[in-house]
Amino acid sequence: METRKQELEVLLEFSRAASAAGTAEEVAHAISATLREGFGYDRVTVFLADSENDRRMREVLDAGKSGDEGSTANNSWLLDDHPELLELISSGQEYIYSQHLDQLLQASFASCGAPAHCVSIPLKTPQNILGFIWIDNSASGRPVEEKGARSLLSFARQAAANLQNVRLVEDLRKSEERLRSLVTSLSETLYTVRIGRGSVIPSFYSPQLQSLTGYTPQEAINTPDFWRLLTHPDDRPQLERVKEELLKGRSLAIEYRIQHKNGEIRWVLDTPVPLSSPEEGSVRVNGSILDITDRKLLEDRLRRAQRMETAGTLAAGVAHNFNNYLQIIIFQIGEAQEDLPDAHPAAKRLAEAQDTLNLASALAGQLMVFGRKTEGVRTDISMEHLISQTIPLIKPSLGKAITIDYRPDRDVAMISADTAHIQQAVINLCINARDAMKEGGVLTLRAQNARIEEYDRNRPPHAASGDYVRLQVHDTGVGMDIQTQERVFEPFFTTKPVGQGTGLGLAVTYTIVAEHGGWIEVESKPGKGTLFSIYLPAAHAPVSTPERPPIKSADRIVLVVDADERERERLAGLLETLGLDVLTAEGASDAMAVIWDAGERLHAVICSLALGSVDVAQLSKTMRDEGTSALLILSADKAVPRELERKGRAPDLPLILKPYDVGHLAEVLDIDTRTSISTDRMAESVPSS
């Protein structure tokens, strides 16, 4: 009776320890301690079925009477390799003596001696084999009788039940971890809500909610009517209609807009699924919400491109025929002008008509560019060089109230492009910026290398990832609202008054950039200015672009402008004999860039009349706009002044004639030859022929 009481106390103590265990190994420790300390056995070894393969047994504990415990997890064996144990399990036998176990475990333990000193009891449930307990009394020689072995059966059943519970908890924990990992890895936001006639009560949001909305799941659950408040006001009626469908047990997917905590508008795809039939006017719903803002942007880009393509095809076809008619009329007017004397009253009207027709022809040309009906020659060009050439062309039309901020970046890659078309695109953007800065401001231009990756959200579907050159044109003007930005590249769309704009400038720019395999982006806010960014594919790796000739720090710098290289060099050599620093330019556009950089250090510009009156007038206007005090001097052959006088167009600017005379040059330039001219260099100078 006393022995039975002790056994019950031992089993109760084991139950407490095993119930508190959190792992299978902790249950194994409780089994070993109970059998050694409560039942008095010499040595206890516990084998547990592997969690990945329940046919493999691994030793998790080996403890002797001294209390020393050790784990030898590498000691494992397959149940299928031991028929005697399989028979023990399948026959319904509840334990086996050591004549079999001695052979089975001889790699780990010495021989048990007499069979009655060792016994093996399986840890099993009706469904599974969870392991084995091996008891060894060979050290003390105390036999394990059948009666003693049977008394262990109730203990083994309880131990197996505790072990099964722990394994179920472990499996549940692992399953939850896998589910949590899966939910965390999803891009969608998962949710569970209960929808009633007058309310939506959330009970769960996955962690992705915070990146989608800016709010934590707990904030969302604790905020009444959270999702309705988050939804764009224009889309709330649609959400109400969906709620009615869900209350009828119907599942559907919808797209609508929400407002992020930072104020940003995002598009989402919401897929709610009712889990049960509606009861008493409510239904529980599981669903997922996916951020589709990037997809919507791409769809919008595609629709815009398709509209532009359609409009361009139509406009180009009309413009092509229209331009043919214009050329016939222009030709006929020219013929009529030849037949009329200059003093005829109709001559002036014909000239005005021809000027108007030329403007119409230019407009038709823009339409053909927009419709991609004009072909150009593409070469590798430097965006830095193109901007440097373009700035002098646009600066006079900007006015003094607008400041140009342009700092060239080094090592910008080349692009393969039609120079005239890309220059036209840049000019269009600059003119658009000018019109946005009626009161003046700053026009900033930048050209930089850009690396576009596959995951870049602004990359259009047709554009490949890789190296690009990014041209940015930024103004400090009135800016644009969202509605204007969405239409800014549409042909014939303009915010200017009637008669002050065609609405083709930005449409043509868009088409030119797209034709070159790039794209254009716009960022703007009312009152905050506008930034246009053009992306064009790089022709090859970045190269070091040569800088323009530096402006020297001498007191007197003279610029020689002449299309004839030999004439430029001759005149430059003579000017250097006067102690001057000389820069040269081939044409008006290069000259204007130098004038712009030189500023107050420029002493004079000597320009050949052979360039033409238009270029000379452009140079003169540029110098006036810059406010420079430099002289503008004309150079020409001796026959040119006589021809000008014959036509009644005598020049009103200082004039130097070929062959050049050093003394006359010094006089026109107001230079003291007694201190400036080098005797040796004078001897080397030869008048030009």
State both tokens at 465: 């990832």
DSSP state of 609: G
pLDDT tens-digit series, residues 434-467: 988 988 899 999 999 998 887 776 777 667 888 9
Q: Is 447 within the bounds of a domain? A: yes
Bridge partners for 47 per DSSP: 59, 132
Neighbours of 484 (CB within 10 A): 15
Residue 55 confidence class, pLDDT cut points 50, 70, 90: confident
- 501 contacts: CB under 8 Å, gap ≥ 6: 435, 494
CA atoms within 13 A on the CB side of 134: 28
- H or E element, residue 663: helix 662-668
- Hey, which bits of 69-154 come out as E strands? 69-70, 76-78, 96-97, 118-124, 129-136
Q: Is 633 within the bounds of a domain? A: yes
Backbone angles phi, psi at 290, to 5 degrees: -115, 135
Domain boundary at 173, 203, 233, which? 173
pLDDT tens-digit series, residues 609-626: 877 766 777 778 778 777
* Alpha-helical runs (H) found in 21-123: 24-33, 83-90, 98-104
Give which of 366, 632, 391, 648 is closest to 505, Cα–Cα. Answer: 366
Residue 305 confidence class, pLDDT cut points 50, 70, 90: low
What's the CA gap between 510 and 501, in Å, rounded? 17
Could you tell me the CATH number of the domain that includes residue 166? 3.30.450.40
- H or E element, residue 408: none
pLDDT tens-digit series, residues 520-547: 899 998 988 999 999 999 986 444 444 4
Could you tell me the CATH number of the domain that includes residue 332? 1.10.287
State how many domains the chain has: 5
Q: Is 550 within the bounds of a domain? A: no
Range of the domain at 166: 2-173
Q: Is 440 within the bounds of a domain? A: yes
Q: Which amino acid is at 265?
A: I
Neighbours of 668 (CB within 10 A): 16
Could you tell me the CATH number of the domain that includes residue 616? 3.40.50.2300
Give which of 33, 35, 59 is closest to 48, Cα–Cα. Answer: 59
Residues 353 and 385 in one domain: no
What value does the mean pLDDT of the chain take? 76
pLDDT tens-digit series, residues 587-613: 877 787 777 777 777 889 998 887 776
Backbone angles phi, psi at 256, to 5 degrees: -160, 180
Residue 335 confidence class, pLDDT cut points 50, 70, 90: confident
pLDDT tens-digit series, residues 183-208: 666 678 888 888 887 778 888 888 88
Contact 287, 260 (CB under 8 A): no
Give pLDDT, residue 443.
92
Contact 228, 200 (CB under 8 A): yes
Q: Is 183 within the bounds of a domain? A: no
Give the pairing of strands 581-585 and 557-561. Answer: parallel
- H or E element, residue 588: helix 588-598
What's the CA gap between 357 and 30, in Å, rounded? 104
Residues 284 and 347 in one domain: no
Residue 585 confidence class, pLDDT cut points 50, 70, 90: confident
Give pLDDT, residue 121.
81
Q: Based on the number of CB atoms within 10 Å of its own CB, is 391 exposed (0-12), middle (13-18) or buried (19 or more)?
A: buried
Neighbours of 289 (CB within 10 A): 22
Give pLDDT, residue 503.
58
Residues 360 and 384 in one domain: no
Give which of 651, 652, 595, 583 is closest to 619, Cα–Cα. Answer: 595
Domain boundary at 139, 173, 207, which? 173
Could you tell me the CATH number of the domain that includes residue 275? 3.30.450.20
Give pLDDT, residue 650.
44
Contact 635, 571 (CB under 8 A): yes
What's the CA gap between 241 and 280, in Å, rounded? 19
Residues 98 and 204 in one domain: no
Across 2-6, 90-94, 305-309, 575-579, least confident range: 90-94
Q: Is 199 within the bounds of a domain? A: yes
- 192 contacts: CB under 8 Å, gap ≥ 6: 202, 203, 204, 284, 285, 286, 287
Give pLDDT, residue 532.
92
Give pLDDT, residue 313.
62
Residues 353 and 386 in one domain: no
Give pLDDT, residue 251.
82
Residues in the chain: 689
What's the CA gap between 155 and 109, in Å, rounded? 24
Residues 339 and 315 in one domain: yes
Residues 576 and 432 in one domain: no
Q: Is 69 within the bounds of a domain? A: yes
pLDDT tens-digit series, residues 539-571: 864 444 444 444 443 457 899 998 888 888 888
Angle in degrees, CA 622, 626, 632, rounded to 5: 55
Measuring CA to CA, how many Å separate 215 from each of 70, 200, 212, 223, 228?
A: 51, 18, 8, 10, 14
Highest mean predicted confidence (pLDDT) among 3-12, 250-259, 357-366: 250-259
Give pLDDT, residue 500.
53
Residue with tokens 């692009």: 415
Residues 265 and 237 in one domain: yes
Q: What is the pTM of this model?
A: 0.37
Residue 177 confidence class, pLDDT cut points 50, 70, 90: confident
Angle in degrees, CA 47, 53, 58, rounded to 5: 20
Residues 121 and 89 in one domain: yes
Residues 194 and 268 in one domain: yes
**CA-CA-CA-CA dihedral for 137, 142, 143, 149, to nearest 10:** -70
Give which of 243, 237, 204 is closest to 220, Cα–Cα. Answer: 204
Highest mean predicted confidence (pLDDT) among 111-125, 160-174, 492-506, 661-675: 160-174
Domain boundary at 317, 341, 366, which? 366
Give pLDDT, residue 184.
65
Q: Is 182 within the bounds of a domain? A: no
Measuring CA to CA, how many Å separate 523 from each of 258, 404, 432, 479?
A: 21, 20, 14, 9
Give pLDDT, residue 343.
78
Backbone angles phi, psi at 105, to 5 degrees: -110, 15
Give which of 667, 643, 645 is closest to 656, Cα–Cα. Answer: 667
Residues 391 and 518 in one domain: yes
Residues 599 and 479 in one domain: no
Give pLDDT, residue 444.
92
